[in-house]
Amino acid sequence: MDLDDLDLALLRLLLEEPRAGYREYARVLGVARGTVQARIARLERRGAITGYAAHVSPAALGYTVQAFVHLHLAQGRLDDVTERLGRLPEVLEAHSTTGEGDLLCRIAALDNGHLEQIVQALLALPGVVRTRTEVALRGRVPYRVLPLLQQVKPTS
């Protein structure tokens, strides 16, 4: 995707100050508010900006255990299992993978007993052959994109 200096500066501001607003972004960047609005709309259309949301801690909601569950699937069941995973609120995200397992799921659970119930529910899904679970002891590096953005060179 082609990103010029203004696109990169705007993306950086959105990541660093997500609640600042168009007027403040325009002031910092030295451009018109309409330019900021048009650029953001274009970045959204092109898929560079995928959404806006507050980051809520699962632990603040009582989900103090996080785990990564590898799912091994029967041949041809990836789409079906993925669709069913989307219905389970404790599945925070799921990624198809290479290597051991077909899907890697990030799970939030209230406690270890609840995690066991979730894993049993995953095993009961049609198409899931077996699972392997790893409990996260503590998050060390949170999800972040800003360091990647800082490495990108403008195309224009």
Q: What is the identity of the amino acid at 28?
A: V
pLDDT at residue 63 in the model: 98
Architecture of domain 5-52: Orthogonal Bundle (1.10)
**pTM to 2 decimal places:** 0.86
pLDDT digits (tens, 9 = 90+) for 87-115: 999 999 999 999 989 999 999 999 999 99
**Residue 77, H or E segment:** none
How far from each other are the two terminal CA atoms of the chain, in whole angstroms? 12
Question: What fold does the segment set 58-136 form as a domain?
Answer: Alpha-Beta Plaits (3.30.70)
Tokens of 9: 């500066």
pLDDT digits (tens, 9 = 90+) for 50-81: 999 889 999 999 999 999 999 999 999 999 99
Domain ranges of the chain: 5-52, 58-136
Distance CA 133, CA 136 (A): 10
Which residues pair with residue 73 across a beta bridge? 128
**Residue 72 contacts residue 27 (beta carbons within 8 Å):** no
